[in-house]
């Protein structure tokens, strides 16, 4: 917890929050992969101190594989020491790889069945959010599921304080999300037991849907 707060104070833009996610949000984020029967390839992006990683590791079985991508080297070291070393010692046959770099540059190849994404999209310029979505969707097989989270009401609360360009960015992000929802199956689950309360947003990738969703956001 202290490590997370310290990194948030150092760089709130990429850390995105002052507190790690709660175990309740972590379970909501990983519901589908925990219920999945059969082999699965999982990608986790932005694990921070690892609340979602801990749930994912618990759900890994014999033929599964996990890639983790984290930009902040302090969080990477923490993950290695606190979670990954012990897991690898007990399950040497299950590949778990940690990539200490930005998702934009990580050397990954599809096809993943699940993407668990902890990135703070509300802090990113829209073009970066769109290019990361594009990257993640390219890495997913058709029918795969991506789950990300966002704090409840965060954009409405921010709007009065961010000026007109900030409000324009919020409006464009909302439009991008609506176009994503038209092209894919999107569901949201409110988790009150988190600081602050958050929605886990699940997107099931439809074939060709991502191109359509980009087409419909090009115009503004």
Ligand X SMILES: C[S@@+](CC[C@H](N)C(=O)[O-])C[C@H]1O[C@@H](n2cnc3c(N)ncnc32)[C@H](O)[C@@H]1O
* Positions in the binding site for ligand X (CB under 6 A): 14-17, 20-21, 45-48, 51-52, 69-72, 75, 102-104, 118-120
Shortest separation between residue 167's beta carbon and ligand X, angstroms: 22
Residue number, 30 or 180, with CB nearest to ligand X: 30
Residue number, 71 or 170, with CB nearest to ligand X: 71
First to last CA, the chain: 40
Strand partners, 121: none
Quote the DSSP letter at residue 83. Answer: I
Shortest separation between residue 113's beta carbon and ligand X, angstroms: 19
Residue number, 64 or 70, with CB nearest to ligand X: 70
Q: Are residues 95 and 63 in contact, defined by beta-carbon separation less than 8 angstroms?
A: no
Shortest separation between residue 53's beta carbon and ligand X, angstroms: 8
Shortest separation between residue 120's beta carbon and ligand X, angstroms: 4
| Sheet with 96-99: strands ordered across | 96-99, 65-69, 41-45, 112-117, 140-151, 198-204, 185-191
Quote the DSSP letter at residue 112. Answer: E
Residue number, 101 or 187, with CB nearest to ligand X: 101
């Amino acid at each position: 917890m202290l490590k997370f707060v310290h990194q948030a104070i150092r760089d709130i833009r990429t850390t995105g929050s002052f507190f790690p996610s709660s175990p309740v949000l972590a379970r909501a984020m990983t519901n589908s992969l925990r219920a999945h029967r059969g082999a699965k390839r999982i990608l986790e992006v932005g694990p921070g101190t690892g609340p979602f990683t801990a749930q994912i590791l618990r759900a890994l079985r014999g033929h599964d594989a996990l890639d983790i991508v984290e930009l902040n080297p302090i969080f990477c070291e923490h993950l290695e020491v606190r979670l990954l070393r012990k897991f690898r010692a007990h399950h040497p046959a299950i590949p778990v790889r940690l990539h200490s770099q930005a998702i934009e540059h990580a050397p990954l190849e599809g096809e993943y069945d699940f993407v668990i994404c902890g990135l703070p999209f509300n802090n990113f310029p829209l073009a970066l959010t769109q290019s990361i979505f594009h990257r993640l969707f390219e890495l997913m097989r058709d029918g795969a599921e991506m789950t990300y989270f966002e704090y409840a009401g965060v954009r409405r609360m921010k709007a009065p304080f961010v000026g007109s360009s900030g409000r324009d960015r919020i409006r464009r992000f909302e439009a991008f999300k609506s176009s994503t929802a038209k092209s894919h199956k999107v569901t949201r689950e409110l988790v009150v037991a988190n600081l602050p309360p958050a929605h886990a947003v699940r997107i099931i990738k439809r074939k060709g849907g991502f191109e359509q969703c980009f087409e419909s956001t090009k115009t503004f």
